[in-house]
Amino acid sequence: MTRTTYAKALAEAFRVALAEDERVFMAGEDIGIYGGAFGVTDGLLDEFGPKRILDTPISEEVIAGLAVGAAIVGQRPIVEMQFSDFIVNAMDPIVNQAAKLHFMYGGQVSVPMIIRGPGGGGTGAAAQHSQSLEAWFAHVPGLKVVTPATAQDVHDLLLASLLDPDPVVFLEHKLLYKVEEDVEFRSSIADTPAQLGQALVRREGGDCSIVAYSIMVPRALEAAEVLAEEGIDVEVVDLRTLRPMDTTTIRSSVKKTGRLVTAQEAPVPVSIGAEVAACVAGSDALDYLLAPIQRVGSLDVPMPYAKTLETATIPQTGDIVDAARRVMKD
């Protein structure tokens, strides 16, 4: 085990992939000489050279387009968007090309590529650099969507994404980059124990299930500790992958506890939390519910710049605690 940060655990996964597989290359704005907007790719240019670590023009559509083309001819590109908000500039190559080509060509073409970027708020970066857009991509058939919450998971799930034959949208919360924990580095891509579409129960409990992902996982775990002092035994489920979603683990947890709170940073309407609720409502797990489902998410507004307004917009640990208290009253 190595004590390291989420960002360095991710960088180590890149090193494993680049060293093992010559088809892997990385591309993005300022990822080489500058080391990336958040320093995640720092040092990789010196280690692997300019043919594997490509600084690109400021054009997200070009970055995604080159990845689609390279993937089709057998390469394994990992491309970075400086902020995941900027993916909107590359929706056509991602949504209309990468996600669909395998199906449009009768399975004769696959597009194994990773589009990654930092998302979420909390840094005072305002409305165009703080969004949580995961539901957009989870809505598109042909895309996988991964949202690692821990340093171990960001390492393992990046490697698991490289094993997948489909395009993967890999979303890292920028507030997690500096979080430290003990991580077991894998020596090869195939050593990863992670699988896309497999959730984890981070905390066992018997009274209420909190289903979360990304930065809301540590907040849900904090909420669980607060609620434990009140005698409420919370189970925390980390989705890890939003598409495919591990509905089996969600339903199993709800059958066990009888209560469900969903927690996300994205605004509540038309979101991942709604899909989690639907997977319960459309199954026999519905019969086990003892109270209406509670959904926790950001206010339905663009992210404010002012720190106090930003904090009020994004769900905090106390909001999850309050939601759990509400479901326990019924």
By annotation, the residues acting in catalysis are: 60, 129
Degrees to nearest 5, angle at CA 94 with 186 and 28 = 60
Give the span between the Cα atoms of 67 and 330, in whole angstroms: 51
User: How crowded is residue 263: how many other Cβ atoms within 10 Å of its Cβ?
Assistant: 30
Instruction: For residue 53, give both structure tokens.
Output: 């670590």
Count of other CB atoms within 10 angstroms of residue 268: 16
Q: How far apart (Å, rounded) are the C-alpha atoms in residues 263 and 285?
A: 19
Sign of CA dihedral 102, 108, 109, 112: positive
**Bridge partner list, 282:** none
> Which residues partner with 243 through β-bridges?
145
Reduced 3-state DSSP string for 221-256: HHHHHHHHCCCCCEEEEECCEEECCCHHHHHHHHHH
Cβ count within 10 A of residue 294: 22
Q: Which residues touch 183 (CB under 8 Å, ≥6 apart)? A: 1, 2, 3, 4, 9, 12, 151, 152, 155
116-142 burial, b if ≥16 CB within 10 A, otherwise e?
bbbbbbbeebeeebbbbbbbbbbebeb
